[in-house]
Amino acid sequence: MEKIENYLNGTINLKDKLAPSYVDIANPKWLEINGKYYAGLLIVDYEREHSEIIFKNLINTNVNANISIFYEKQDTFKAIKDLTYHIGNTGVDLKFGNANKEDIDLAAFTYNDAKYIRKEIQVNNEDLYYLYTYCVVIAEDEKELARSLAKINGILQSSGFVTKKANFRQEQTFMACLPIMENSKDLKEVAARNVLTQGLSGTYPFISSTLCDENGIFLGSNIYNNSMILVDRFNKNKYKNANMCVFGTSGAGKSFYIKLLILRYRLLGIHQYVIDPEREYNKIAESLDGTLIKLGPSSQTYLNIFDIREESIEDGEGYLSSKLLKLRGFFSLIFGQMDEEKMAILEAKLIQMYAQKGITFDDETLYQKTENGKIAVIPQFKTAEEMPILEDLYNSLDDEKEKFFKLKLYPFVFGSLKFFNHHTNVELDNKLIIGDIYDLGEDNLKYGMYMFTDIFWDKIKKNRSENKAIYLDEIWRLIGVTSSGFVASFIYKIFKTIRKFGGSAVAITQDVSDLFSLEGGAYGKSILNNCSIKSFFSLEEENILVLEKYANISEKEKIEMKSLKRGESLMFIGDDHILAKVEASDYEKKLIIWEEK
């Protein structure tokens, strides 16, 4: 036993690990522990009445500080006895005393307060408590400590508190702010103030605008109190959907924010699909071994708008009907607003074109058959090479009424946009796919955006048990005034129904006014309302005024949005409104940003 005791005496235990290397308590104004400085404040008096949470401003400050609040229940019988004695004595003084005495007003106040407290205890079953509040500020040096103390003191005094520096009581205040429930008698004698049960609700401390979802990813830190913001947008129990919208001017930091989301969700194995009109996501595609698909005159990767994919419908039947509805949206971008006659002519030609490839409204025609004409035991869906292309549609247009379609299709078949006239030659099985449409040019971006949206939407529907996300950068091109009602309805459908497929749709734009320009802003408003998470980076005055009509933005938040720095965002996450700073490690920055040469 003696050997064992000697051995244990020489080991390091938990207490040794927690204990600081040194503690200097020589200075009455602060403590120095392991090179850090600690100074305490005691709240010794409060306003008689408060209409809101009294510690709100203190808790939301970004000063590095520990706050400790003690509640000590008092004996109700003794409290009533003492109050009755005080009321009797003070009542006599008020009745027979000299009205000119300086403290007569103070005596009247205490008399009325005592009667009120006694009534609340006796009639309304309130309990009486003593309230003690302490604050310890932490800093790296004496100058920082003085600044932080002055800031905390200013916040407290502006909120109606009376404070005292804990000089010669620094050690006791420090101990009181540790999670060990130690409230020293030296402090209690100074800091005790009575409060009724009803008043305790005003001291509730857990009111800071912060989010910390259990399985969430790190979005940034709260600007006001430096708390971490961790959000799990796929949490169906907490958020009505996983959709997001990200608005901000050029250079405000929204693209950097989206790249961070892509990187961090990639670590969780989530399938992600990005439409990139500005060629901003090539680096992250390279860093994360994603698939980069470029559409343009010089590209060797092609996509075919006429592809029918096995996962393209929800219930496994009606492939051609579903495809024809989607093609209405694409061709409305090319041909503009069509009347019923033109729409009927176009649809008849499309049905004829698919029939020439052996594809009809019978879904079995989309499966390859064996030599005896039967579908194999393991059905094989038709390949991309067996699908029609735009040239097939062009060649089927002969009638005079069809001349309009033929003229509009010519650039897509033989002209500057002939890269649309090819069979699909890329694999779409990667968990990260970037659709680069930068080379299409300003006027033609909408065609590439719609094509990628159609493909990615099919990928989203493939497996409901997997979480997926589609990022629509510069979404205003698809639901703005330059688009069509067919296309905008398709995008709205994605935002409305993607939740049931385990998906998340992310709307990104810098042109907020254009987002609400089609049909009086109906589609923009619908998409905004179908996003549980909204991130507003710095915006121009004009865009803020437009956004104000469709989002619940307070006057204070409007002012904050104008003054946001790069990388700062006003986030609406569920019912919480948080001013956040997007943060990333150096390694993350290296992965998502091209290094300057």
Give the tokens for residue 409. 């299709």
List, in sequence order, the alpha helices (H) in 510-572: 512-515, 522-529, 541-550, 555-562
Residue 6 pLDDT > 80: no
Q: Are residues 452 and 557 in the same domain?
A: yes
Tens-place pLDDT, residues 145-198 = 999 999 999 999 988 899 999 999 999 999 999 999 999 999 999 999 999 998
2, part of any domain:
no
Is the domain of 117 the same as that of 252? no
pLDDT at 338 over 50: yes
pLDDT per position as a tens digit, 495-533: 999 999 999 999 999 888 888 988 888 899 999 999 999
As a whole number of angstroms, the distance between CA 335 and CA 393 comes to: 14
Residue with tokens 């992310």: 506
The pTM is what?
0.74
Task: Say yes or no: 409 and 293 in one domain.
Answer: no
Give the confidence band of 373 by pLDDT, cuts at 50, 70, 90.
low
Say if residue 447 is in the same domain as residue 582: yes
Look at the block and give the residue holding tokens 């064992």. Answer: 4
Q: Is the pLDDT of residue 330 over 90?
A: yes
Q: What is the pLDDT of residue 452?
A: 94
Residues 292, 308, single domain; the answer is no
Highest-pLDDT range among 458-462, 501-505, 574-578 = 501-505
pLDDT (tens digit per residue) in 383-399: 899 999 999 999 998 88
Is residue 130 pLDDT above 50, yes or no? yes
- Asked if residue 169 and residue 135 are part of one domain, the reply reads yes
Distance CA 541, CA 545 (A): 6
What is the average pLDDT across 268-280? 93
Q: Can you tell me the distance from the alpha carbon of 385 to that of 320, in angstroms, rounded to the nearest whole number?
A: 17
Let me know if residue 583 belongs to a domain.
yes
Range in 3-7, 88-92, 360-364 the model is least confident about: 3-7
Of 401, 423, 445, the position where a domain reaches its end is 423
Contact 39/141 with Cβ under 8 angstroms?
no
Q: What domain count does the chain have?
A: 3
Same domain, 337 and 479: no
Please report whether residue 487 resides in a domain.
yes
Same domain, 141 and 31: yes
Assess if residue 223 is contained within a domain: no
Please check whether residue 211 lies inside any domain of the structure.
no
Choose one of 423, 441, 460: the last residue of a domain. Answer: 423
Q: Who has greater pLDDT, 68 or 5?
A: 68
The mean of the pLDDT values for the chain is 89
Q: How far is C-alpha 22 from the chain's CA centre?
A: 42
Other residues' Cβ atoms within 10 Å of the Cβ of residue 423: 16
Domain that holds residue 353: 304-423
Checking if the pLDDT of 99 tops 60, the result is: no
Domain boundary, last residue among 203, 218, 252: 203
The answer to the question of residue 136 being in a domain is: yes
Note whether 111 and 165 are same-domain residues: yes
Q: What phi and psi, each to the nearest 5 degrees, are found at residue 240?
A: -65, -25
Residues 455 and 512 in one domain: yes
Q: Stretch 582-587: mean pLDDT, rounded?
A: 93
Between CA 297 and CA 302 the distance in angstroms is 10
Q: What is the CATH number of the domain that holds 548?
A: 3.40.50.300
3-state secondary structure 250-303: CCCCHHHHHHHHHHHHHCCCCEEEEEECCCCCHHHHHHCCCEEEECCCCCCCCC
Let me know whether 441 and 541 are in one domain: yes
Residue 574: pLDDT band with limits 50, 70, 90: confident
Q: Are residues 125 and 91 in the same domain?
A: yes
Range with the lowest mean pLDDT among 55-69, 255-269, 274-288? 55-69
Q: What percent of the chain has pLDDT over 90?
A: 57
Q: Does residue 535 contact residue 246 with C-beta atoms inside 8 Å? A: yes
How many CB atoms are closer than 10 A to CB 358?
11
